[in-house]
Amino acid sequence: MQEIWRLSAAELASLIKTKKVSATEAATSALARLDAVNPQINAVVDHKPAEVLAQAAAIDAAIGRGEDVGPLGGVPITVKVNIDQKGFATTNGLKLQREAIAADNSPVIDNLYKAGAVILGRTNCPAFSYRWFTTNLVHGDTKNPRDPGITPGGSSGGAGAAVAAGIGHIAHGTDIAGSIRYPAYACGVHGLRPTMGRIPAFNAALPERTIGPQISAVSGPLARTIGDIRIALAAMSARDYRDPWWVPAPLEGPPVQKRVAMCLNPDGLDPVPEVRAAVADAGKRLERAGWIVEEIANTPPLREPANLQTKLWLGDSYEAQLETAEREGDPGALACLRGNRTKVFPFDAAAFSKALTRRATLTREWLEFFEQYPVLLMPVSGELPFPDHLDRKDEASFARVWHAQLPQIAIPFMGLPGLTVSTGLVGRIPVGVQLVSGRYREDLCLAAGEAIEAGGTPSAAIDPAR
């Protein structure tokens, strides 16, 4: 048998359930892998090995008693450092929050425990989870295991780097403007941003979120197989009363025609040739798998919802966010806020009301589109993964980054699900595509994603490149 840490979550859970591998063996393998490769990439920034082994021992004991340990029974996974885990600091990449020790678990953590997962460690993010690059003043710089010269993505950069390097079989991330989908893209794995309301969220250790994050930020999984994404979504989605936005929607919707709209250049994105080629290749894979693929010239609007999403995210309480960032002193966070100032400030009551009003209209337009085409295939980004910290190079580079990320920023404004599917490499630089569907139709994204995955070379854990 191959090394335990290389297995998919589904394979490992089956082996543990049938007592061919113990949860303790799996945890020991995961901890050894973390020790071996994490110093090179700094993906996991906090973990307690004794607690990891205690979790695994409890799973083994439950199996010994004949109990059902859940779909992730004994599977080591990582969680992002911006959600509450009892006894750990919810830093969100901030020195200012080093003492924000959680007294209780967030709903996501509790749901993972209920599914039998063993939480291996906590992964890095940029300060405030603002950027598509992962560094901060409290935990340091995370490197991409594929190529240390390119970004691991952000804000769930630690999650993407960890799962790509075989540190855990699934990673938890969060996404308000691409923060699951882009690290998956940059690190050559898969990542699902679920529909808003699918996975419950709440951090008791921190103040209540403003309305923008409440209606657009989500938790979701990153993994090396689409099958593991599917298992993790089901585990994370269980009910929790603490999130008033949670919706008891079924994980499988009614059958629809296997029809995909493919757009190579949505809303003036003008992607580089390698990105266009990846989308076109994914379309061919879908056709070979029996899907009807229709190329369209354009999608419903992306630029307007992207601009409004940025305002809801950064413009609401802009001055307070800027003051906190200045106290933190993080250069990347300050660059993000100052670089977007003219776009998002001032954001008065009239502008706020207009944004929410337009949200209804734009969401309706997108939902009408999905009545005709159940799934949309388009780029994740207009470019291949960026050179690391490109957004801090100069004003032109900052603008270049924000333009390229248009397909990621827009989708959360409508609360839609989006799945990054890794499709291959350009040299040693990952590339992939994005699948989007109607609200609570993650099942359609996953079905199309599995067809694309099956038509190419599977993603596998790698040793960090030098």
**CA dihedral angle for residue 196, residue 199, residue 205, residue 208, rounded to 10 degrees:** 20
Residue of 8, 29, 106, 155 with catalytic role: 155
Give me the DSSP letters along 336-387: HHHHTHHHH----HHHHHHHHHHHHHHHHHHHHHHHH-SEEEE-S-SSSSPB
Residue of 29, 129, 179, 237 with catalytic role: 179
Tell me if the bond preceding 155 is cis, omega within 30° of 0.
yes
- From CA 153, how far away is CA 179, in angstroms rounded? 8
* Tokens 């885990």 belong to residue: 85
179 classed as catalytic:
yes
Residue 184 CA to its chain's centroid (Å): 7
Other C-beta atoms closer than 10 Å to the C-beta of 101 total 14
The two tokens of residue 268 are 């003036």
- From CA 201, how far away is CA 359, in angstroms rounded? 22
* Tokens 């063993």 belong to residue: 118
Residue of 17, 80, 143, 311 with catalytic role: 80
216 classed as catalytic:
no
8 Å CB contact between 127 and 69: no
8 Å CB contact between 125 and 158: yes
Give residues with Cβ within 8 angstroms of 12, minimum separation 6.
4, 21, 26, 74, 75, 169
397 classed as catalytic:
no
Closest CA to 10 of 180, 233, 160: 233
- From CA 123, how far away is CA 86, in angstroms rounded? 15
8 Å CB contact between 285 and 456: yes
Give the DSSP H or E segment for 402. Answer: helix 395-404
Which positions are annotated as active-site residues?
Answer: 80, 155, 179
